[in-house]
Structure 1
Amino acid sequence: MRLAAAIFGATLIFTQGIPLRAQRAGSTVSIIPRPASLVPRAGRFTLTPRTVIWVDRGTATLGRQLAGYLDPATGFDLTVRTAGTPAGNRIVLRLDPALARLGDEGYLLDVRPGVVSIRAPKAAGVFYGMQSLRQLLPVEIFREAHVTGVNWTAPALRIEDSPRFAWRGMHLDVARHFMPKEFVKKFIDLLALHKMNIFHWHLTEDQGWRIAINKYPRLTQVGAWRKETVVGPNVRDSSQRVFDGKRHGGFYTQDDVREIVAYAKARFVNVVPEIEMPGHAQAAISAYPELGNTGTQIGVRTFWGVSEHILNPENKTVAFMQGVLGEVLTLFPSRFIHIGGDEAVKTQWKSSPRAQERIRELGLKDEHELQSWFIRQIDTYLTQQGRRLIGWDEILEGGLAPNATVMSWRGIEGGLAAARAGHDVVMAPNTAVYFDYYQSLDKATEPLAIGGFIPLDSVYAYEPVPAELEPQFVKHILGAQGQLWTEYMPNGKHVEYMAFPRVSALAEVLWTAKNARDFGEFRARLETHLRRLDVLDVNYRPVRP
């Protein structure tokens, strides 16, 4: 356990964007992300061993989930009831079609002495209301063991809330450094607490293949393991590289994947898998050399940077990747399937007689159009399976596949181009939401990172809809997400340090209306929120004045 590093003054409560100062620290409201509307009332609700959770058919599972959230710290084995008329000290969870104005993820939370009511048009909204309720209770509610001497009370109030964006995501690269299943689940829990609904799972890379594919077992038998890993900053001069001499790897079985996807679904988090192609494929080529362009056996990449090894453009290679995706689709119900498409170095295609012959056979202009052809084959396949392709903004080069969604990472230009062309966009610019970048300009006091500088206030100031985008195209901005590339994050604790509290800031950017955000007021609420993260054993970076 650690102490929060900074104190920011009294927390505020608010209604319709107008802050109201709380009377005492013990009665403050510190919900992150900030609700759309919060109206305080007199009194408090007290949770007791006799509190009953009343549910309907659509919220029965959520009622049991809420009881599970509240039980460990309080020691209260709360009754969950469906039949009968709610009475006594109670928490009521209801689906209410009359609240359709709040959308699929909105909710209404009403807290009064003796009664808590959470109503929403869809189950996701009830779940998010539950997250707000948890944040109204003392921070000790997040303990996994009985805590004594705590009054389990929440301030009386009324919250009406709904998100600004439909895509509120975080990316996690488990290929550069493998992350165990237990950490992935913890990460999903933290996303859910912040009302984030997308977990972008980056599963394949030059440095490792992390998902079992039954049809192609060597992808994990060979591709999941590298003989060693470079130490320190990446350098171009190979003679200057130092390695740790330790074998690194790991992968998720298909049962592991099903378990994680189900775990996320229960928390209203959609898992979007990423299978990189045609670049970032050295691990796959090391397992199946016939996928490459040189015909020689190579190893899984042991250092960082962009590999020149790229999938060859043969029909049989496209069929191989479609075979991979066929199994991926049985594991992931996500409508969106990420196929990478970034940093596909064309050097080998330029020097390969067969790749050049393919360009002529297909009537293409150059290697960029060849990549576009490759992506179009995958787009057609995914569309036939009822899914949607999403890729990094390089998929714009050479022509965009008809049904593709673009993830704009090289600034905002790719997002602007795609939206203006009528394609949906997820904003992920490296100038604002790359959480592998440094959090301080004093790099000597920070762990080694890839570079850059994105502090907490910059994340909070980020606006996902570019000012340059014409109003008629704004509808194509689905939302945004943060990125965690793990070249310099060897374990979960390091990931947490780089992620939090920047994830907390991004969650508010994506949930809360632009004109209702205020960084100073956010930092005030963050003081309490960091105490929650302490209880949850999150190794966040301390917030300094």
Structure 2
Amino acid sequence: MLVLSILLLNAVTGLADDNSQGATLIPAPRSLQVKEGSFILTDKMGVTLAPQLGGGLDLIRLLLGPATGFDFSRVDGGAGMRIGYDATLHEEGYRLEIGTGGVDISASTHAGVHYALQTVKQLLPVEIYSQGLVEQDWVLPALLIDDQPRFSWRGLHLDVGRHFMPVEFIKKYIDLLALHKMNRFHWHLTEDQGWRIEIKRYPRLTTVGSVRAQTVVGHPLFQDEDEKVFDGTAHGGFYTQEQVKGVVDYAAARHVTVVPEIEFPGHAQAAIAAYPELGNTGEQLKVMEDWGISKNTLKPSDETLDFYRNVLTEVMVLFPSPYIHIGGDEAPKDQWEESPFGQQRMEQLGLTDANELQSWLIQQMDDFLTANGRRLIGWDEIMQGGLSSNATVMSWRGMERGMQAAEAGHDVIMAPTQWTYFDYYQADPDVEPLAIGSYTPLAQVYHFEPKPTGPPSEVRQRILGAQGQLWTEFMKTPEHVEYMAYPRAAALAEVVWSPRNNRNYDNFLLRLPGHMQRLDVLGVNYRPPGNDKLDAWDSFKQWLFDIAIGIYFWFSDL
């Protein structure tokens, strides 16, 4: 097995030593064999398509049509591209063979065809990523690839609650996921600082909850409460249900599932500002204007539960995703413990503490989603006080809590801060844009291993995959989001797609410049790799920050 792994790695890394586009495949395929010769795509080239893979022509035209201008007509014989059905292949896997006689793709599903075509696109000159017609020879190198993903969940998250992002950018973000063979877009739609999705039954969620009057300037951790400075400028925005449907359809055409997140029972101050009866105090709150964790959590009443069931009912109509994310993180319990209603509720339910109350609330949402044929996902705090076996845990506070969830029988998505939080600095904070803190350079992301080797196989198989997170407190523009995301998201894409034994960071760096040429054509504002080491003083400060985060995680479980 070791010899085979070395041979496969050499096949992939060998491409990085020549000048072909194959040298820049990201993520690296499972198996690749270079051959002699090439094939040129032309406007007279026809396509044959197995009947089981209907829709393949739409994919070809979507991915290869804009720059080439070719029609890619379906023909019965003599085709230059042949797409065949092979039931033995992985549901997202494919086999790609290119020779002087044309292109042969085998797959068992439409998704497999999609990933094969994404590889074909990367093998072509980078101008294939142009949105307009380009006149040139579209040359493909001769080779043989057998490929399939390592993990079923390959995701990237985007917080639009702190800073709203336009629909056009959301679609570009999805295009970049598809390019990297990622298949989950985690859309974080609600926050203390803004509610971003239209709910027709509750219009004040957007007329009130989507706009904050102003935003704190600078980093709140380094400011006393009475010294905070605000910009005096309103920030708002939300997605209509028609816009959401458009995004979901756009993603589906690219084999990306959009997973919505509706925060519950914390991170809900924007909702409480819109409907004060949802809060524990009944006071009229404003949409939160600074960063951090709001103490204002949802009131644990039957009326609140009905409100959120109604919200999720509309959400489920818009999002066909089997999974619905309900947050569940960073929900301070002080108001429940201090309010007469909270105490009465716990006594009525026979609960011993506020952790059990949160668990009960999460269980109500879980029961509701399950009854509607969906599965609940939440951040790892949903394990506090107990959790139903149907729930999936997204582990952000390190790997350990994810492994605990897997050992308890839950499916797990790994999203630990140390490797997957792309809002963290990626180089010297003195020369980088303001960020929340800590330090996650490119190499650290690439060396992330979502599935530890120690636990039994039945535990490890519950790890569905991993995803990167972009929290936007300090990212006001799409360009800033791209700068924080890439190339780190490209590194993570290889972590979740490529076989563990095929991964090689030095080789990834050799392939990355060619990949960045694609990002250049697409107008992505990535951070150029390199120059990301910290000096001793900055390393010490980041160590202190990580210690503080660890202490916070420990206390948050008490």
2:489 aligned residue: 503
Matching of residue 17 in structure 1 with residue 9 in structure 2: yes
Q: Equivalent residues in 2 for 1:189-228 (5 A)?
A: 189-228=175-214
Distance across 1 between alignment mates of 2:396 and 2:166: 27
Q: What is the one-letter code of the residue matched to 1:77?
A: F
Q: Supply the AA of the counterpart residue of 1:20.
A: G
Query: What letter corresponds to residue 355 of structure 1 in structure 2?
Result: G
Kept after mapping to 2: 8 A contact 1:53/1:78: no
The equivalent residue for 2:357 is 370
- Aligned residue runs from structure 1 range 28-427, under 5 A: 28-74=22-68, 76-81=69-74, 84-85=76-77, 87-88=78-79, 90-97=80-87, 100=88, 102-148=89-135, 150-235=136-221, 237-427=224-414
What is the percentage of aligned positions where both structures have the same residue?
54
8 Å CA contact 1:95, 1:126 repeated in 2: no
Aligned residue type for 1:17: L
Q: Which amino acid aligns with 1:132?
A: T
Q: Specify the code of the residue in structure 2 equivalent to 1:163.
A: P
Structure-2 separation of matches of 1:106 and 1:21:
21
Q: Which moved more, 1:395-404 or 1:263-272?
A: 395-404
Which has the larger displacement, 17-26 or 514-523?
A: 17-26
Moved more, 139-148 or 217-226: 139-148
The structure whose residues are more often helix, as a share, is 2
Shift in Å, 1:324: 0.4
Q: For residue 118 of structure 1, report the CA deviation from its aligned partner.
A: 1.2
* Alignment correspondent of 2:472: 486
**Which one-letter code corresponds to 2:291 in the other structure?**
W
Deviation at 1:50, TM superposition (A): 1.2
Is residue 534 from structure 1 mapped to residue 517 from structure 2 by the alignment? no
Which structure 2 residue ranges, 5 or more long, are not aligned? 1-5, 532-558
TM-score, normalization by structure 2: 0.91
2: distance between equivalents of 1:388 and 1:64?
31
- 1:511 and 1:23 map into 2 onto residues whose CA distance is 22
What is the CA distance between 1:77 and its match in structure 2? 2.6
Measured in 2, the distance between the counterparts of 1:533 and 1:27 equals 14
After superposing the two structures, state which structure 1 stretch, 14-23 or 371-380, moved more.
14-23
Equivalent-residue separation in structure 1 for 2:311 and 2:207 (angstroms): 15
CA distance in 1, matches of 2:310, 2:22: 54
Counterpart-to-counterpart distance in 1, 2:64 and 2:451: 38
Match of 1:446 among 432, 435, 441: 432
The answer to whether the 8 Å contact 2:377/2:391 transfers is yes
Distance 1:417 1:333 in 2: 29
- AA paired with 1:330? V
Counterpart-to-counterpart distance in 1, 2:395 and 2:363: 18
Q: Structure 2 vs 1, CA of residues 27 and 494 (structure 1 numbering), >3 Å: closer, same or farther?
A: closer
Find the aligned partners of 1:142 and 1:21 in 2 and give their Cα distance. Answer: 21
Asked whether the equivalents of residues 375 and 401 of structure 1 are also in contact (C-alpha less than 8 Å), the reply is no
TM-fit CA distance, 1:22: 6.0
Q: 1: distance between equivalents of 2:47 and 2:339?
A: 66
Cα 1:471/1:402, change in 2 over 3 Å: closer
C-alpha distance 115-462 of structure 1, shift in aligned 2 (>3 A): same
CA distance in 2, matches of 1:340, 1:27: 41
Q: After superposition, give the CA deviation of every residue in 1:475-530 in whole Å (9 maximum; x if it has no partner).
A: 11001100000001111110000000000000000001111100000111111000
Amino acid at match of 2:114: F
Q: Contact (CA 8 Å) 2:99, 2:143: kept in 1 or not?
A: yes
Output the CA distance in 2 between the equivalents of 1:294 and 1:331.
32
Q: 2: CA distance between counterparts of 1:173 and 1:22? A: 35
Mapped to 2, the partners of 1:299 and 1:68 lie a distance apart of 45
> 1:518 maps to what in 2?
504
Maintained 8 Å contact 1:15/1:38: no
* CA distance, structure 2, for counterparts of residue 161 and residue 402 of structure 1: 33
Checking the alignment, whether the CA contact within 8 Å between 2:20 and 2:141 is kept in structure 1 is: no
Provide the secondary structure at the position in 1 that maps to 2:134: coil
Cα distance change on mapping 1:379 and 1:461 into 2, 3 Å: same
CA-CA distance at 1:23 after TM superposition: 6.5
- Per the TM alignment, residue 53 of structure 1 is displaced from its structure 2 partner at its CA by 2.5
Q: How many positions carry a matched residue from both structures?
A: 523
Deviation at residue 212 of structure 1 after TM alignment:
0.5
How many angstroms apart in 2 are the aligned matches of 1:396 and 1:460?
28
Counterpart Cα distance in 1 of 2:40 and 2:509: 28
SS of alignment partner, residue 304 of structure 1 = coil
Q: Is residue 2:464 matched to residue 1:470?
A: no
The answer to whether the aligner puts 1:457 opposite 2:457 as a matched pair is no
Residue 110 of structure 1 deviates from its aligned partner by 0.7
Secondary structure of residue in 1 paired with 2:168? helix
- 1:73-101 alpha-carbon deviations (Å, 9 max, x no partner): 23x332321x522x05x11223322xx2x
TM-score scaled to structure 1, two decimals?
Answer: 0.94
Q: Is the 8 A contact 1:339 1:391 kept in 2?
A: yes
Deviations 1:37-69 (A, max 9, x none): 001111001011211232233444231331243
Structure 1 unmatched runs, 5+: 1-13
Summarize deviations over 1:169-211 as a string: whole Å, max 9, x none. 0110010000111000000000001000000000000000001
